[in-house]
Chains A and B, each alone.
Chain A
Amino acid sequence: MRTLEYQVAVVGGGPAGLAAALAAKKAGAQKVCIVERDVRLGGILNQCIHAGFGLHTFKTELTGPEYAARFITDVLESDIDVYLETMVMGIEKDKTVTAVNRNLGLIKIQAKAVVLAMGCRERPRGALNIPGTRPAGIYTAGTAQYLINIEGKMIGREAVILGSGDIGLIMARRLTYQGAKVKAVCEVMPYSSGLSRNVVQCLDDLNIPLLLSHTAVEIHGSERVTGVTIAKVDKNRQPIAGTEQRFDCDTLLLSVGLIPENELSLGAGVALMRATNGPAVDNMLMTEVPGIFACGNVLHVHDLVDYVSEEAESAGQSAAEYAMKGGHPKADLQVHCGENVRYTVPQRVTDGPVTLRFRVSQPIKSPRIRVTQGESVLYNKRKVICTPGEMETVHCSALPNGGPLKVEVLEEKR
């Protein structure tokens, strides 16, 4: 088996992996590689042909492939080694990455630091327990997006979409543009989990009804989907008898959440957080395994790719510093979730400047975001609104020996 040596090995060539590799190179790492299982770099951005990417980073509205191209061009012009169609089989605690591809066969990449950037996969039907038959015509929204936008195949004529995540909303519009009829999008929560921009431009614009507090209670059809029965749900998300309505359709799309793809992380002994399904990390985005870093959707699900790139840059830079110096500052100040905070990334920090990313557990109007460390207030700002669909980022400076930090979002009476 061939052994290749690198300072930084990045697993995954999507937006996170691209930005991490570029940042590692820029920070001075000599030998950097990206290992990607697909035939090309760019990851899921390649199939996201809609506009709206890069508003924060490039101040212009790009499509997914255009956003990816800006990073891919830089990677190809640098001397970062790219291994395409290469599947990583395992990562060890000592930072050896075992991979396989057609040309080299089984290879071992011995790295000083590894960046995990594998992204997410979609929650499938099996995770939902929808009663009914098992006909053809049930797709996760991202798979439908891949089939239509990359393979050039159409997937159905009449569709119902379950879940109002952004990919589901985007696909409602894409299906309509491709000539299909989208009968309804139903969402079990009382609010859409997608960006309101997508609710307006993908549903309202096309008169597609959004049924909030509704879920699918039965799938019909033996060979192919022939319909879906939707019912209203109560406060506990249980279907209410008597509210069922049947929609005739040949296609059901599921947009019901993403699961960080952490099989490799677990294999390397990386500890995962329950709230994010991603690795536990410190403020340099290092996992609990020294020298293994994580960024992008494998760490926690992001709503904007701009934030993925930003986070990945910081992971790439930290990985390069670790690879060159061998050491790593001790991050032993815990970050706790206070009122209305569902999770934070990172969960441990050093003293000094830190970036905290978090999500709230419910929509809060007139919130005050506060970060405290004992008696000291590190951050204290009012906002117009916080919603679970939009990730919050705060920059503050942690005090040495100040004890754990607490992030809270307090509802203010106006």
Chain B
Amino acid sequence: MKRDLLCIQCPLGCRITVMLDDEGNIQKIEGNTCKNGEAYAISECTCPKRTLTAILSVEGGVIPIAVRSDEPMDKDRIFECLKVLHALKAPQGVKMGDVILENALGTGVNIIATRDDWN
């Protein structure tokens, strides 16, 4: 299998091609011009992570609060996590930094507020 990546380590934006075998093991990395690019390609093909940010409605309020994962989480679980979050309502009076959802989906990542409740 072949995967095409756009490297985001610097503005050069190298087009990297990664060859994977059937088990997803990396066979070959091509197109990168530096070591950072190689490391990026490896992490993207083995355990890509992203910081999740979302909005959440507030109990009895109009203005939503904004939240994020306190550290990058597995990219594959973002939508699953969004589903859980969208079913939640934040209590009133939340402050920036408050934990809204502990250990989301058992990933060890917490979801925290990034804005005070403005309602």
Minimum CB distance partner of B4 in chain A? A204
Contacting pair B62 A63 (CB below 8 A): no
Query: Considering the complex, which residues of chain B in the window 78-119 have a beta carbon less than 8 Å from any beta carbon of chain A?
Result: 78, 82, 96, 114-115, 118
Distance (whole angstroms) from the CB of A215 to the closest CB of chain B: 23
A150, B8: Cβ atoms closer than 8 Å: no
Mark out the residues of chain A between 133 and 159 whose CB falls within 8 Å of any chain B CB in the assembled complex: 148-152
Residues of B within 8 A of A385 (CB): 10-13
A379-396 at interface with B (beta carbon < 8 Å): 384-387, 389-390
Residue of A nearest to B10 (CB): A384
Contact check, B115 vs A46: say whether CB atoms are below 8 A apart.
Answer: yes
Chain A residue contacts of B55, Cβ below 8 A:
49, 148-149, 152, 178
| In-complex Cβ contact of A196 among B8, B50, B75 (8 A) | B8
Nearest-neighbor residue (CB-CB) of A40 within chain B: B118
Tell me if B68 and A51 are in contact (CB < 8 A). yes
With contacts A66-B96, A149-B64, A152-B64 taken as known, whether A50 is within 8 angstroms of B53 at the C-beta atoms is: yes
Could you tell me if B51 and A61 are in contact, using CB atoms closer than 8 angstroms? Answer: yes
B6 close to A177 (CB less than 8 A): no
| B53 pairs with A51, CB closer than 8 A | yes
On chain A, the residues within 8 Å of B82 by CB distance are 177
Are A199 and B53 neighbours in the complex by a CB distance under 8 Å? no
User: CB-CB < 8 A to B7: which residues of A?
Assistant: 196
- Closest Cβ–Cβ distance, residue A31 to chain B (whole Å): 28
Q: What band does the interface of chain A fall in when counting residues whose beta carbon is under 8 Å from B? A: 20 to 34
* Cβ-based interface call for A69 (8 A): yes
Interface SS, B side: loop
Interface residues of B in 55-72 (CB under 8 A from A): 55, 57, 62-64, 66, 68
Of B8, B51, B63, B115, which contacts A152 at CB under 8 A? B63
**Shortest distance from the beta carbon of A332 to any chain B beta carbon, whole Å:** 34
In the complex, what distance in Å separates the CA atom of A46 from the CA atom of B115?
8
- Interface residue range, chain B: 20 to 34
Assembled-state Cα–Cα distance A360/B64 (Å): 40
Min C-beta distance of B87 to chain A, whole Å:
12
* Selected contact of B11 from candidates A40, A150, A196, A200, CB within 8 Å: A196
A235 within 8 A of B: no
Interface residues of B in 1-23 (CB under 8 A from A): 5-8, 10-13
Asked if A205 is at the interface of the complex by the 8 Å CB criterion, the answer is yes
* A199 interface neighbour in B6, B51, B118, Cβ under 8 Å: B6
Return B79 CB to nearest CB of chain A, in Å.
8
For B12, list chain A residues within 8 Å (CB): 365, 384-385
CB distance from A361 to the nearest CB of B (A): 16
Cross-chain contact A177 with B54 (CB below 8 angstroms): yes
Contact string, A40-61, partner B, CB cutoff 8 A, digits 1/0?
1000001001110000000001
Decide: A49 near B62, CB < 8 A? Known: A199-B6, A204-B6, A387-B11: no
A residues within 8 A CB of B78?
A: 177
Contact: B8 with A200, CB < 8 Å? yes
Which positions in A face B, CB cutoff 8 Å?
40, 46, 49-51, 61, 63, 65-66, 69, 148-152, 177-178, 196-197, 199-201, 204-205, 365, 384-387, 389-390
Please, could you name 6 A-B residue pairs with CB atoms under 8 Å apart, sorted by A?
A46-B115, A148-B55, A149-B66, A196-B13, A385-B11, A390-B11
